């Protein structure tokens, strides 16, 4: 019998996603929330909400006892784990079931079987599923692992045996780099998963990441819902996913989906799962050129592309299977039609190495016609405590060309202000010639990273719009004095640099002298949408404002400007070359410098963990350390001086 009420042990986008399907099915929902999420969208959407602790995940979303107690108190019959957090924790599954509740996912034994990559690969070998050559044993000593790497042959990949998402993963090209890469991988694995054990595998050249969605029920039925290509990655994290995989032949698909179903059957799998394969893309897709990588025993972030090409609701399937029903369809009833893409939109500073960002979303608009899965709305803030995803944008079409064109158009039409985002990067990626042709592999982004992360130029038109807004001249008719044109000046700060701009009447519009050159504009306004007429032709832009700031948005990017108060004095330059400053709130994981130490520009000094990632902070110049203001284990806020160099001569 279908549940009447479920609790969602997660937050953000996936919690909102589960709530929407549950509501359509007539199932009531209970949200849980931390201090930071008190006003989050998933809390507002659910029928009930329960506070479970502090903002740190260790104080809330990872505290299984509180989540289970919240389910019992509210009368929920089952717990949906979403993805991340406790979704692949077998102990949590056992505790849920011991409390008389249903876990909407696989059994604890299935999760354990696939939870450690080394044991999972040994199991897959027995099941007849191809596995990448490598060392999956228990020994973790440097001498053993380095020796195995030599036997396998460089390049190799060090991978945490627990968890996923690229955490605890390092590619090593040379033997002399192995020690440092191993230490870093183990440190990150310990922090992310509480387990620093790793395995070592052969690194596949021109690898593609193709995964198969599987589903099993409690009656012994297992099916696949075809494949997804997730090869566009940076730092081993997916950026754009698609279904089906480009270049996939019927023979290759049959071999890969058969292997995926074998893998699921080997562990009596129930619920939604994903079998991930590493594929040799150096000479096309071949039935003998793919190997099992790992299984994700949960719903995946990229599940919407599978829904788009199959017409199925995977969350609905999860609820039906968990409640004891048979799979809604068997294999010969599942068809794949059309093509779909998903782009992950994040609050992150791409030119600074994809540094996670925070900020209030003062403007958030996506075009009609695209599916948007998001856990935030305009006015919400991106928290420093969790993954900085803003939204997933999903587009589809009858074929790959049309679906990709829709993706590009939707990204161009998306408008976000209040935080830096990866929108410009996604736009460049969607237009990449190799990606357009389907020639994808996991190294594509790294090879063309300079072109892909290049910031769009701030045009004279953009400068002019910002200046005219700051001066209050948009929508105001030009005026002339008796003897000469009036002129206004305004100071704007863009990318940390202050610039003085001058505006004066010119015909029916305004002439503005900008750092990118002079331009004359005639502007009409409809709400936040501007129509610009200039010598270059007609253009449209979007304006977003909040106290002391203005953002000008076009299909090339978002350009934010600070409008200094002329009554304020100049602020001291806190970002001089004498300091290492925390770019965001985070936890100091390692301090590699002491007072009096000589350092070279670019030398790693401090490792800061923030938003589930490690960030290496380096020396801003050659010099000598004057003081170190933090220790390993300290929690720091954004803008804190972590380390100071002696004054330069």
Q: Catalytic residue positions?
A: 298
| Contact (CB, 8 A) for 397 and 406 | yes
> Which H, E and C letters describe 186-204, residue by residue?
HHHHHHHHCCCCEEEEECC
Alpha-carbon distance of 218 to 326, in angstroms, equals 7
Radius of gyration of the chain (CA): 27
Residue 521: which H helix or E strand, with range?
Answer: strand 517-526
28: tokens are: 């009531």
Beta bridge partners of 340: 243, 396
Strands (E) in 235-288, as ranges, are: 237-243, 271-280
Alpha-carbon distance of 94 to 607, in angstroms, equals 36
Q: Collapsing DSSP states into helix, strand and coil, what is residue 237?
A: strand
The three-point CA angle 252-243-223 to 5° equals: 65
554: tokens are: 């076009």
| Contact (CB, 8 A) for 636 and 607 | no
> How does DSSP classify residue 566?
T
| Contact (CB, 8 A) for 348 and 426 | no
Alpha-carbon distance of 12 to 57, in angstroms, equals 13
Give exposure, 539-563, as e/b (b: 16+ Cβ within 10 Å).
Answer: bebbbbbeeebbbbbbbebbbbbbb
Alpha-carbon distance of 42 to 32, in angstroms, equals 9
Regarding beta strands 604-610 and 613-618, do their DSSP bridges make them parallel or antiparallel, or are they unpaired? antiparallel
């Amino acid at each position: 019998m279908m549940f009447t009420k479920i609790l969602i042990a997660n937050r953000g986008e996936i919690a909102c996603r589960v709530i929407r399907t549950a509501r359509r099915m007539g199932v009531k929902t209970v949200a849980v929330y931390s201090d930071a999420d008190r006003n989050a969208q998933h809390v507002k959407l659910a029928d009930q909400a329960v506070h479970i602790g502090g903002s740190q995940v260790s104080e809330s979303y990872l505290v299984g006892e509180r989540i289970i107690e919240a389910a019992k108190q509210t009368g929920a019959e089952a717990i949906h784990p979403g993805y991340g957090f406790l979704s692949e924790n077998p102990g949590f599954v056992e505790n849920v079931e011991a409390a008389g509740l249903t876990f909407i996912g696989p059994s604890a034994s299935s999760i354990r079987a696939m939870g450690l990559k080394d044991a999972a690969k040994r199991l897959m070998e027995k099941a007849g599923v191809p596995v990448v050559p490598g060392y999956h044993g228990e020994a973790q000593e440097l001498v053993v692992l380095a020796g195995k790497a030599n036997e396998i042959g460089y390049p190799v990949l060090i991978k945490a045996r627990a968890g996923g998402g690229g955490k605890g993963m390092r590619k090593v090209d040379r033997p002399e780099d192995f020690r440092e890469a191993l230490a870093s991988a183990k440190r990150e694995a310990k922090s992310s998963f509480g387990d620093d054990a790793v395995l070592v595998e052969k690194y596949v050249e021109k690898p593609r990441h193709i995964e198969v969605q599987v589903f099993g029920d409690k009656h012994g039925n297992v099916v696949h819902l075809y494949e997804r290509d997730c090869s566009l990655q940076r730092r081993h994290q997916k950026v754009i996913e698609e279904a089906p995989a480009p270049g996939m032949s019927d023979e290759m698909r049959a071999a890969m989906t058969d292997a995926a179903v074998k893998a699921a059957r080997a562990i009596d799998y129930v619920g939604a799962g994903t079998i991930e394969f590493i594929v040799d893309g150096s000479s096309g897709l071949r039935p003998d050129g793919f190997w099992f990588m790992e299984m994700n025993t949960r719903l995946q972030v990229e599940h919407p592309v599978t829904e788009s090409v199959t017409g199925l609701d995977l969350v609905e399937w999860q609820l039906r299977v968990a409640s004891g029903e048979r799979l809604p369809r068997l294999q010969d009833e599942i068809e794949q039609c059309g093509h779909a893409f998903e782009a992950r939109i994040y609050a992150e500073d791409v030119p600074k190495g994809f540094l996670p960002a925070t900020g209030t979303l003062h403007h958030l608009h996506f075009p009609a016609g695209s599916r948007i899965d998001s856990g935030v709305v305009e006015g919400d803030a991106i928290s420093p405590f969790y993954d900085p995803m803003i939204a997933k944008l999903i587009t589809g079409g009858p074929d790959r060309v049309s679906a990709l064109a829709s993706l590009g158009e939707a990204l161009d039409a998306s408008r976000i202000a209040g935080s830096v985002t990866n929108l410009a990067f996604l736009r460049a990626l969607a237009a990449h010639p190799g990606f357009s042709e389907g020639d994808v592999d996991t190294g594509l982004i790294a090879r063309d990273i300079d072109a892909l992360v290049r910031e769009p130029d701030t045009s004279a038109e953009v400068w002019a719009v910002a200046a005219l807004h700051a001066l209050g001249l948009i929508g105001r008719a030009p005026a002339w004095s008796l003897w000469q044109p009036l002129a206004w000046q305004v100071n704007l700060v863009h990318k940390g640099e202050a610039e003085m701009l001058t505006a004066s009447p010119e015909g029916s519009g305004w002439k503005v002298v900008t750092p990118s050159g002079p331009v004359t504009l005639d502007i009409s306004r409809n709400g936040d949408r501007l129509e610009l007429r200039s010598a270059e032709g007609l253009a449209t832009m979007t304006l977003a404002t909040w106290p002391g700031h203005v953002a000008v948005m076009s299909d090339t990017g978002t350009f934010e400007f600070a409008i200094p108060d002329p009554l304020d004095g100049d602020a001291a330059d806190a970002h001089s070359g004498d300091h290492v400053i925390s770019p965001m709130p985070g936890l100091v994981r390692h301090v590699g410098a002491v007072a009096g130490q000589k350092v070279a520009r670019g030398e790693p000094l401090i490792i800061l963990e923030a938003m589930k990632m490690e960030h290496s902070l380096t020396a801003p110049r050659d010099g000598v350390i004057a003081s170190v203001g933090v220790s390993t284990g300290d929690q720091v806020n954004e803008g804190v001086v972590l380390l100071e160099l002696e004054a330069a001569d």
